[in-house]
Amino acid sequence: MINYVLLYLIVIVAIAVLFKIAVVVPEKESYIVERLGKYANTLEAGFHLLVPFIDRVAYKQTLKEEALDVDPQVCITADNVQVQVDGILYLRIFDPVKASYGIENYRYAVAQLAKTTMRSQIGKMELDKTFCGREGINDSIVRALDEASDNWGIKVTRYEIRDITPSHTILEAMESQMRAEREKRANILSSEGKQQARINISLGKKQEAINKALGEKERKINIAEGKARAIEITSAATAEGLQLVAEALATPGGETAMKIRLAENYIARFKELMKNNRISIYPKDVAAVASLAAILKKAHDGGAK
């Protein structure tokens, strides 16, 4: 009976020792082993056995990238404006031994260094530039942290500013300034619109005047050309008529015919004049009338023959 109890005790002790010396390291983690209080080796992912009662796992470090929340802090810009800034820090361990023995708490140290670096960078910039210069601030913080954390086995991959919040008074002043800027831009746009409208109206009137002048010019040219054409046609007709009269006078009896025609016209006009007036009018040269009558009689007799 005593032998069975002893056997059970041996088995229990063996299992306890096995659990004590057997170590399974998960993926993307590293265990730091100390032997008698001194660094011995680093255990990577997998199954490992330790020397019982001599070796122990002193530190367990993760090799994954971590996101560290940096608490909000008050910073003063170059133009003496207080702003509250907070951000997120991304880091990973590349040397588990340095991360274990190089510093007591690397997360706290990196966060504090990020805060001081952020205050320093914000203090070099004016308030307006801090909003549009986040990328430059982030790069400066990452470079500063990288130089300091190299001895800690830490690699700072990036830093992102999450919020930059000015005080309530500054926010009201900024809002007033933005409102004034918007009103200024609106007034400028309105005045430019009115100016452009006036320019368009004046250009339209100018073009209208030009078109009217061109139309009037074209009309006068057409009238002048029409009159010139009429004069040309009249002159041509007159010349042609005179040529025909001259040809007629040159023929035998042409002169007598012309005299008869003139006498007939003269008598017709005189007769019309006597008909339309109550006063009796006689020609001054009665002999001329008699000669006209003789010409007509002669012509009539000649026609009868």
- pLDDT tens readout for residues 4-34: 677 777 777 767 767 778 888 899 899 999 9
The reply to whether 89 and 36 lie within a common domain is no
Measure CA 3 to chain center. 95
Q: Are residues 26 and 81 in the same domain?
A: no
157 lies in the same domain as 75? yes
* CA dist., res. 266 & res. 292, Å (int): 9
Give the pLDDT of residue 33. 92
**Is residue 297 one of the residues assigned to a domain?**
no
pLDDT at 304 > cutoff 50? no
> ∠260-264-265 over CA atoms, to 5°?
120
State the average pLDDT over residues 281-286: 52
| Number of domains comprising the chain | 2
- Kindly state whether residues 6 and 48 are assigned to the same domain: yes
Residue finishing a domain among 166, 184, 219: 166
Among the three residues 146, 166, 186, which one is the final residue of a domain in this structure? 166
pLDDT over threshold 80, residue 69: yes
Q: Which residue range(s) make up the domain with 95?
A: 65-166
DSSP calls for the chain: -HHHHHHHHHHHHHHHHHHHHEEEEPTTEEEEEEETTEEEEEE-SEEEE--TTTEEEEEEEE-S-EEEEEEEEEEE-TTS-EEEEEEEEEEEES-HHHHHHS-S-HHHHHHHHHHHHHHHHHHTS-HHHHHH-HHHHHHHHHHHHHHHHGGGTEEEEEEEEEEEEE-HHHHHHHHHHHHHHHHHHHHHHHHHHHHHHHHHHHHHHHHHHHHHHHHHHHHHHHHHHHHHHHHHHHHHHHHHHHHHHHHHHHSTTHHHHHHHHHHHHHHHHHHHHHHH-SS----S-HHHHHHHHHHHHHHHHHHH-
Q: Is residue 25 part of a domain?
A: yes
189 within domain boundaries = no
Residues 33 and 76 in one domain: no
Same domain, 46 and 72: no
Q: Is residue 160 included in any domain, yes or no?
A: yes
94 lies in the same domain as 126:
yes
Answer yes or no: is 279 within a domain. Answer: no
Of residues 175 and 105, more confidence is placed in 105
* 123 and 135 both lie in a single domain: yes
Q: Is 34 in the same domain as 78?
A: no
Is residue 111 within 8 Å of 89, Cβ to Cβ?
yes
CATH of the domain at 87: 3.30.479.30
Give the pLDDT confidence of 94-147 residue by residue, as tens digits. 999 998 888 888 889 888 888 888 888 888 888 878 878 888 888 888 888 888
Does residue 20 contact residue 33 with C-beta atoms inside 8 Å? Answer: no
Looking at 62, 92, 114, the residue that finishes a domain is: 62
Same domain, 111 and 20: no
In a domain, 53, yes or no: yes
Q: Are residues 36 and 70 in the same domain?
A: no
Same domain, 97 and 117: yes
Q: What is the pTM of this model?
A: 0.52
- Mean pLDDT over each residue of the chain, to the nearest integer: 79
Would you say residue 277 lies in a domain? no
Mean pLDDT computed over 66-93? 87
CA distance 240 to 232: 12
Q: 144 lies in a domain? A: yes
